[in-house]
């Protein structure tokens, strides 16, 4: 299987979940991300395109992820990276501070394409938005609190164990075990 990503850390994470079922190789390919409020639609379109680009000899997986704030109808959602680059996380917190309900979730969808089927698998970690705390992690980690700690305060091990991507990969592993 080919994981379409430039991030070796993601490839290692996928191997943790899939090594009993398949090999996982990195595939560096810049697929088109479509505009949609659905991570599944974006990842599925990317997986279909990347499967063709890879020559069609091996299944591919693509992931997409974002921070979804409940009371903001999911904002910034699929556009989390763009919003981080433009607004920045301090302004996202400024918006969240005036909300009555600060619940949010990190969501990830992994899409699998093998030329016959395209399947998507979702994972999520729930939390609450808080004043930025902690110096670890990246992106929205300092304002996302889960179980009393922000993701920027957590050890890498603890954060990885909670991974939204890991939860999606675990579902993919179950599906592969049943369907291959």
Binding site for its own copies (CB under 8 A): 32-35, 37, 42, 45, 72-75, 77-79, 82-83, 85-87, 91, 94-95, 98
Residue with tokens 């091990």: 157
Shortest spacing between CB 140 and its own copies, in angstroms? 16
Cβ distance to its own copies smaller for residue 73 or 157: 73
In the set 28, 41, 64, 101, the catalytic residue is 64
Cβ distance to its own copies smaller for residue 143 or 176: 143
Q: How does strand 25-27 pair with strand 144-146?
A: unpaired
Concerning whether 20 is annotated as a catalytic residue, the answer is no
Cβ distance to its own copies smaller for residue 7 or 179: 7
- At 123 the three-state DSSP class reads strand
Secondary structure element (H or E) that encloses residue 109, with its range = strand 103-113
Residue 7 burial (C-beta neighbours within 10 Å; 0-12, 13-18, 19+): exposed
Q: What residues are annotated to the active site? A: 64
């Amino acid at each position: 299987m080919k994981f379409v990503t430039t991030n070796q850390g993601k490839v290692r994470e996928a191997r943790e979940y899939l090594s009993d079922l398949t090999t996982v190789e990195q595939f560096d390919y810049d697929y088109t991300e479509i505009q949609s409020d659905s991570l599944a639609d974006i990842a599925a379109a990317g997986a279909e395109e990347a499967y063709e680009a890879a020559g069609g000899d091996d299944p591919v997986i693509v992931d997409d992820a974002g921070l979804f704030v409940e009371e903001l109808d999911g904002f910034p959602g699929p556009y989390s990276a763009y919003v981080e680059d433009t607004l920045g996380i301090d302004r996202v917190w400024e918006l969240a501070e005036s909300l009555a309900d600060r619940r949010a979730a990190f969501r990830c969808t992994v899409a699998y394409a093998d030329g016959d089927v395209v399947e998507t698998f979702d994972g999520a970690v729930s939390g609450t938005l808080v004043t930025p705390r902690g110096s670890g992690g990246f992106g929205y980690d300092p304002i996302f609190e889960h179980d009393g700690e922000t993701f920027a305060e957590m050890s890498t091990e603890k954060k990885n164990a909670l991974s939204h991507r890991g939860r999606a990969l675990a579902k993919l592993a179950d599906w592969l075990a049943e369907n291959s």
